[in-house]
Amino acid sequence: MINYYQILGISPNAHQYEVRQAFREKAKSLHPDVNSDEKAHEDFKKINEAYQVLCNQEKRKIYDLRLKNRVPSQKVYYRPGKVKYRAKGDKYAYYDSEHEANPGFEKVEKYFDFILFLTLLIAGSFALIYGLYRLWLEPVEEINPYPGILMGLVVTALMIYLWKNKKKYSEDK
């Protein structure tokens, strides 16, 4: 596995400023405009890749996890909870595949959410229709149809609003 810290010549606990400074020093001598050697061009690609990973906090966390556990894979899947592999003190866990990291409840949750949405939408629509029916066609003195109409309007409007804005609310998770 390529060690980006060795490529840039910095320690693993270096700050962003040190990463940037080390990259700039190496880039000055290895840039293709300055150095026409083919090996320099390949080395420049390596230091650029190292800089892109180490300057981004999220990518750096994942890279450090891979480096610590000697995981050659390009992807590290992690989630909280029960894990297959976790080094002592690690916040993130390594899984062999994305399927192990995300066991597939998303599909079940998606269908459950859709069924729940339809149920509430039908309940709101039914309350609205029944309230209007009681108001116009069969008024009964003891039954007040306005709460049913109001509840039907509110629930139906809320369901339609949430359906239209579901992407906005699902991104917040």
pLDDT tens-place values along the chain, 173 residues long = 788 899 999 998 888 899 999 999 998 888 888 888 888 888 888 898 888 889 888 888 888 888 887 766 555 444 444 555 455 555 555 555 666 666 666 677 778 888 888 888 888 888 888 878 877 877 777 777 787 788 888 888 888 888 788 777 665 44
Domain extent listing, the chain = 4-101, 105-171
In angstroms, the Cα distances linking 52 to 57, 61, 69, 79 are: 10, 13, 21, 24
Judge if pTM exceeds 0.85: no
Q: Which of 94, 77, 97, 98 is nearest to 85 (CA)?
A: 94
Helices (H), 13-145: 16-30, 38-54, 57-69, 98-101, 105-136
Does the domain formed by 4-101 have CATH 3.10.310.30? no
Alpha carbon distances (Å) from 70 to 27, 28, 106, 108: 28, 31, 30, 34
CA distance 27 to 48: 8
pLDDT of 21 reads 93
